[in-house]
Chain A
Amino acid sequence: MAAGNLLRVDDFCLFYRTSGGIGRAVDGVSFELERHQAMVVLGESGCGKSSLGRGLLRLLPRNVETCTGRIFLDGIEISAFTDERFRSEVQWVRIAMVMQAAMNALNPVVRVGEQVAEPLLVHRGWSRARALARAAEVFSLVGISADFLRRYPFELSGGMRQRAVLAMALITEPDLVILDEPTSALDVLTQAGIMNVLKRIKRELGTSFILITHDVATSSEIADRVALMYAGQFVELAGAADFFLRPAHPYAKLLLASIPRLHQEKRPEFITGQPPSLLSLPAGCRFAPRCPSRFGRCAENPGLMTLLDGRQVRCWLYAEGLQQ
């Protein structure tokens, strides 16, 4: 493995048992994440991006059918750890997560400071006073005054609650923070404020991020790399500049064309059709039924192909001989 890689994920699969059959939420995802990097996992609802995030941290519901694949953190295979060891050495110690809508899941009857300091009490066995002093430091890092430590969640605005939840993830100084839709329920100005905080943390603390989102525009605020997910698979994995300026996969092109731009006269366009059900996936390329450039070969399942510029694309258009 290349030196400097913080995280490596090999062929990660996560299937659920449902009343309608097996739902293949994450179907063979592989990637590497360097230190100080932010990778965005971009996808529409139901593509499996949240399952991927939770799966990496082993925060799984009970109806998991299979969860396979190898995960390495700093070269150590954490997927081989027992649950006990994983909890004490990885969860919230090396990898923390901000869950979707976590800001609404704060305990309403416990002061915010206590909740933010809790990981230190649980995982490090710190004294309450020491943990609260550390919480005050992290609060200033995310841009909340330390006075708010003594407040209750209802006394904080949405933006401040989101910052508090972020502080909770950062308090153990993890190497990697997984953020699941951290800004999607927030107003535009508040969103911009949170993204500013994330940028500062990335620069000052060197924390790595995996940002899971459906919001293409906001994702460009922090992405070094973008993984576009469709129906449980990565369909494109590219550097941010390549992805946003020169998308390769037909889905990536259409998705970017569907995003309205403020200073552009051209109307955004929509993608016809719907993503397939994860319970009954089409045999070949999963995007083919909606793809304007599909051709005969799309009936076969395309693998990820590496292009000359290093990006990976799951599309037959980029198979040898067809590459421009």
Chain B
Amino acid sequence: MTAKTTWTTDSGPDSLLEVRDLRTWFELRRWGFLPAGFVRAVDEVSFELRRGEAVAFVGESGSGKSSLARTLLGLYQPTGGEVIFAGRNLQSLNRAEQLHYRARVGYVQQDPYGALPPFMSVGRILAEPLIVHGISSRAERRRRINEALEEVRLTPADDFLPKFPHMLSGGQQQRVVIARALILRPAMIIADEPVSMLDASVRVEILNLLHTIRTSHNLTLAFITHDLATVRHFAERIFVMYAAKVVEKSEVNELVDRPQHPYSQALLAAIAEPDPANADRVRVIPGGEPPSLISPPPGCRFHPRCPHAIPELCDREMPPEFEPRPGHFAACWLHR
């Protein structure tokens, strides 16, 4: 492994990314002139990511975690709120600065096969971002590509450069995706379900790789995932999302040992581990399903399914974020 090198040139405060009251809403197809409403994919989400830390956003499908990732990547325009990266508000960037921002944030997609163009060789796939970002020297590109392939342990690089995605295994494809995310030397990587398409025995290998890369370059890593058990070993903090909102934020062990939000408690109780005793156990799971993001219920969005809902409070008022334990935040009226 190379010595610890920080690619970040904009050394600054400890905080890398700050998100305040972020909203990403999608307008439904209009019916004539009348607006039909909005899908509130991300709704008033606030958090801060520090340099070099690994944070997992955990939630079920439809909780808004992928929309959040794509908003942070600048692929979706936020409807409201602010995203501040290294001290600069994203909305205030001009085109050149936007391009620079995209180089600072890498993206690891969920489905590696779908994320790699099938008609491009690995060498071509990795050269593309360098060309877009104006690295015109062929030798320099070659050097950076080799470096990235070494970083993801696809060595010797010459063996992999002419290969096409279909010639690689799932794990190798995901390594190419990671190499592509790294090639512009970002300060942050957003990984959207980076291992959910891979076999169990390969998952840990990829997560170990991401961990090594993160620590050796002091990268901030944002995992988007539904798999708490896997990410628990590879993230430092966990943010739990439910119905477009972050309902709980905490350091990993604290969250796993003392979940404070009833939704997180339900989620943790539902996670299976390989244990033959499971066969005699009926898991208690909250009834119902996550609410519609077009017309979410008033008050706390989990209250229709919550076993502890307080009448006339949880069904009326949106709970603010409380801090029941130091550094552990939960948006739940039980902690008022």
Contact = CB atoms under 8 A, between A and B. Distances in A.
A274 B169 CA distance: 8
Given A240-B276, A260-B232, A268-B204, 17 more contacts: A187-B61, A189-B286, A191-B270, A195-B272, A196-B283, A214-B199, A215-B200, A217-B229, A220-B274, A220-B275, A224-B279, A255-B201, A259-B274, A261-B273, A262-B228, A271-B202, A272-B205
Given A159-B289, A192-B285, A217 B201 contact: no
Given A260-B232, A268-B233, A255 B285 contact: no
A218 interface: yes
Interface in B208-223: 208
Interface of B: 60-61, 169-171, 199-205, 208, 226-230, 232-233, 256, 266-268, 270-276, 278-279, 282-283, 285-286, 289
Interface in A262-284: 262-263, 267-272, 274
B279 to A, nearest CB: 6
Contact of A258 (B200, B232, B256, B270): B200
B276 A270 contact: no
Contacts, number: 118
A260 B293 CA distance: 32
A214 B196 CA distance: 12
22 contacts: A45-B199, A158-B61, A187-B226, A188-B60, A188-B270, A188-B271, A189-B60, A189-B266, A191-B270, A196-B285, A199-B282, A220-B272, A220-B274, A220-B279, A221-B272, A224-B279, A244-B274, A244-B275, A260-B230, A261-B273, A270-B208, A271-B202
Given A188-B226, A196-B285, A224-B279, A262 B204 contact: no
B285 A193 contact: yes
A258 B273 contact: no
Interface in A213-228: 214-224
B166 to A, nearest CB: 13
Residue among A158, A218, A241, A262 with max Cβ neighbours from chain B (10 Å): A262
A67 interface: no
Contacts of B278: 220-221
A198 to B, nearest CB: 10
Given A187-B60, A196-B283, A270 B202 contact: yes
A90 B269 CA distance: 39
Contact of A189 (B169, B204, B227, B267): B267
A122 interface: no
A38 to B, nearest CB: 8
Contact of A263 (B199, B256, B289): B256
Interface string A165-193: 00000000000000000000001111111
A45 B61 CA distance: 23
A243 B279 CA distance: 14
B110 to A, nearest CB: 12
A157 interface: yes
Residue among B203, B226, B274, B285 with max Cβ neighbours from chain A (10 Å): B274
A255 B275 CA distance: 14
A47 to B, nearest CB: 9
Contacts of A217: 229, 271-274
